[in-house]
Amino acid sequence: MRLKMWGVRGSIPTPGPDTVEFGGNTSCYEVRAGETLIILDGGTGLRLLGQSLLREMPFEAWMFFSHVHWDHIQGFPFFTPAFIRKNTIHLFGGLNVSRTLEETLAGQMDYPSFPVHLSEMGANMTFRDLYEGEVVTIGRKQDVRVSNARGNHPNGVYAYRIDHEGKSIVYVTDSEHYAIVDPKLRKLAQGADILIFDAMYTPEEYAGEVGGGPKTGWGHATFVAGCELAHAAGVKQLILHHHDPLQTDAMVRDKERRARELFPNTIAAKEGMIIEI
């Protein structure tokens, strides 16, 4: 399996000199599981991924949305391959909002917000709304298994686990921690090779000691919670994801350093980084 990071920031894109090292695009990851192309979330990083995929057309991809808050879908209208015929894109999202995934993606492209409607995109697109705990088998060879669990976020969120030939990647974003390790996420992440975790805040930021008021109930976690989940689930590597818009590159590096004191095999997500397992 091969993982590439296209968008690792949370809430809103943050371009500028203070974020150039780790990147300012919002959530998007590319996973290659054998011959199967999987896309996790459609934040602004999706635009860059789309440009890189132009040389592979026509292609078939399986795309999983954690939820439909703006920073996880706003790259979709700028995903160039979705406008090109002969490409096939299967889109999955959780049954946790008032509208389906298709209705939500179409809604952000309605007039006057965007000049081109979803129905005018040229690619062959199929939509599938997932139930909590549902497992789907994907890929042309049907050799990739994707399972899910609900996280703790306003309006709901799904975490995903991708399994292929004994390797596994778990993607947990926008899920606030509890006083104990979330048993659903612990089960989902058990023994995973890679755990991508929403470590948006430091404990001080979460408590409101710095960076404004307390973040309780906002639906995001700390790097400490990520390390606790990594230990509890016995994962091999932890990736700190969804960096806060206020965090500069220096602050992300410090967050990474502090996390490594708790779980040594930890890295902060960085745009363009590739990991093979």
Q: What is the pLDDT of residues 102-157, one digit of tens each?
A: 988 999 999 888 999 998 999 999 999 999 999 999 999 999 999 999 999 998 99
**Average pLDDT in the chain:** 96
Residue 222's pLDDT band, with cuts at 50, 70 and 90, is very high
Task: Say whether pTM exceeds 0.95.
Answer: yes
Strand partners, 89: 61, 125
Helices (H), the chain: 45-53, 101-107, 183-189, 203-207, 223-233, 249-262
- Apex 115 CA angle, 156 and 102, nearest 5: 30
Mean pLDDT of all residues in 200-218: 95
Distances, alpha carbon 179 to alpha carbons 101, 121, 183, 203, 266, in Å: 31, 45, 11, 13, 22
Q: Is the pLDDT of residue 97 over 60?
A: no
Residue 38's pLDDT band, with cuts at 50, 70 and 90, is very high
Distance separating alpha carbons of residues 33 and 21, to the nearest angstrom:
27
- Is residue 10 within 8 A of residue 244, CB to CB? The reply is yes
- Is residue 222 within 8 A of residue 177, CB to CB? The reply is yes
